[in-house]
Amino acid sequence: MKANAARIAQDDPCRPRHYRPVPCAPAPAEGPAQEALEISHTRLLVTAALFVLAFAVIAGRLIEVAGFKAGDNHLARFHPAARAYAARADIVDRNGVLLATTLEVSSLSANPKLIAAADKADAAHRLAAILPELSESEIFGRLASDKSFVWLARQLTPRQKFAVIQLGIPGLAFESEGKRVYPKGDLAAHVVGYSGIDNDGLAGIERSFDDVLKSRDEPVRLSLDVRLQYILRSELARQMAEFSSIGAAGLILDVRTGEVMALSSLPDFDPSNPGAKPDAIFDRATLGIYEMGSVMKIFNTAMALDDKVVTFDSKFDATKPIEIAGFTIHDDHAQKRWLTVPEIFMYSSNIGSAKMAAEAGADRQRDFLGRLGLLQAPAFELPELGTPQVPHPWLPISVMTVGFGHGISVSPLQVAAAAAAVVNGGTLYAPTIVMHPGGAAPQGKTVLSAQTSEQMRRLLRLVVEHGTGKNAEAPGYLVGGKTGTAEKIVHGRYAPHALISSFLGVFPINDPRFLVLVMLDEPHGNAKTGGYATGGMVAAPAVKRIVERMAPIVGIQPVDEDSPEIRRSLMVGLPSPQGRKLAAN
């Protein structure tokens, strides 16, 4: 028996190895016990299902609070105004300096249906402390809406976003948007322009290149050089302040390509907040059109020379004013004698210019000005462009007044582009604010002969050396140019004390590279100028400083202006004995 018991215990699979053998528990029998076990299992499954359902309800509520679409219940819907953030391409200058870019920011929206009516006033009060641009009543009005989506504030700062999160108000959400920023501020405001709250271009390059900026990643590269832009703008601001002008405009143009290297109009504005100075939005350089005065004698003289109406030796009687159609044409720097063509240009004689224009005639005048692009709006990348005002009908008195810069209104941009063709050998290049790709040579159009261009360069230098433009002389840089002073029309009449005073300079005039135009709107003379506010007094000095400041940047070295080679190149062709006299000086 003991042996059998030991064998049974040893073979028993239920026996723990380290305990004494014990008998295994018997299997439960069929019947009430088995039924009770199955009921317990069922109750456990039901309890688990209830837990799952509870978690599903909670998850659904979280989705509702987050503002996602969920069937036809009261969950917040995705509003069409809330769109995915899309970058807008950068705008850069010719050297890659950033002028406009887009930053990702957060805007605050709300689903008013998810905010209890009793909580809306308190929510508005707390949000108003974070969003100072909105009043408490404005916020409450939006939260009281019956819509499922309303904007509360666009383009929040990171600090504002964090503060809103800390409030823990249900029903609020953040939308990712792009905010346009302008690192150079107002430096090139009229060129770059600005965009709206939804990143749609509204002015300048932002507007004219809106589709391009929205559809590509690479930047739009302008022809501007921010270094030259800074020089131009600072000198315009200096002259505007010194002579109490209501405005100023200017540009720097590469005469070999038509590329605008700098363009400025004052007053200007901050593109990030253009509404702060609405009167400054107007672009005097491209949209404004003006009677530019004697600067236009560049084209009158070039026309007469190119069409062989006159030569340098031709003379015109400037002994007394011209009386025509009830008007008097007189000279501000009257010589009261017969003048040669170079003298007419050098002394800026209105009488001589009018008689020269009359000899050429209306047909020649219209044709020549039309070839230079001065009778129609220019093809230029900015949307803010002025259309010239020309005589209609083109009467004999119109021919005379247009000859010395009255009776025709054009933009400074057009004057610069046309003058560039006069000095660069006779090729008109369409002005552009966008850099030519890869340094490719632009396609130009011949509008006058190379011989006429050479003659005009000598005359322009003569003005700076011995004429009305002496204040533009920048030693070593061979500046040539032309002054312009014109009375503005106020209430239908010319106003003697409301002037457009300008100077157009080109350097180096023996091998032209750059054109600099400065214009002041209604300057006032001071003790320094003897009370005068002419182009030679108020605009020419600015051109001189601009040339001196920009020349080292663009790689132009000063030369010895008194060297025989330079003197001969600029004086050849001037009439004798005047040519010999000027050469001797």
* Domain parsing of the chain, residue ranges: 91-222, 229-584
What does DSSP assign to residue 442?
Answer: P
| Secondary structure, 3-state, 262-281 | EEEEECCCCCCCHHHCHHHH
Q: Who has greater pLDDT, 47 or 235?
A: 235
Q: How confident is the model at residue 198 (pLDDT cuts 50, 70, 90)?
A: confident
Residue 250 pLDDT greater than 70, yes or no: yes
Residue 177 pLDDT greater than 70, yes or no: yes
Domain 91-222 CATH class label: alpha beta
Asked whether the domain spanning 229-584 has the same topology as the one spanning 91-222, the reply is: no
Residue 305 pLDDT greater than 50, yes or no: yes
pTM greater than 0.85:
no
Instruction: Yes or no: say if 376 and 387 are a contact pair by the CB < 8 Å rule.
Output: yes
Residue 86 pLDDT greater than 70, yes or no: no
Average pLDDT of the segment spanning 313-320: 96
Distance CA 412, CA 365 (A): 20
pLDDT tens track for 534-559: 999 999 999 999 999 999 999 999 99
pLDDT value of residue 38 = 62
CATH code of 229-584, in short, is 3.40.710.10
pLDDT value of residue 584 = 45
pLDDT value of residue 3 = 47
Residue 227 pLDDT greater than 70, yes or no: yes
pLDDT tens track for 30-64: 555 556 556 666 666 656 666 666 666 565 555 55
Please count the other Cβ atoms lying within 10 Å of the Cβ belonging to residue 350.
Answer: 27
Among positive and negative, which fits the CA dihedral 135, 141, 144, 147?
negative
Tokens of residue 296, six digits: 């236009």
pLDDT value of residue 563 = 85
Q: In sequence order, what are the residues at sequence separation of 6 or more whose Cβ sits closer than 8 angstroms to the Cβ of residue 255?
A: 420, 423, 424, 506, 512, 513, 514, 515
Average pLDDT of the segment spanning 370-380: 96
106 catalytic per annotation: no
Name the nearest CA neighbour of 557 among 509, 508, 516, 521: 508
Instruction: Yes or no: say if 207 and 199 are a contact pair by the CB < 8 Å rule.
Output: no
Q: Kindly name the residue from 195, 264, 265, 294 that is annotated as catalytic.
A: 294
Q: Return the CA Rg of the chain.
A: 40
Q: Amino acid identity, residue 208? A: S
- CA 551-552-558 angle, to 5 degrees, is 70
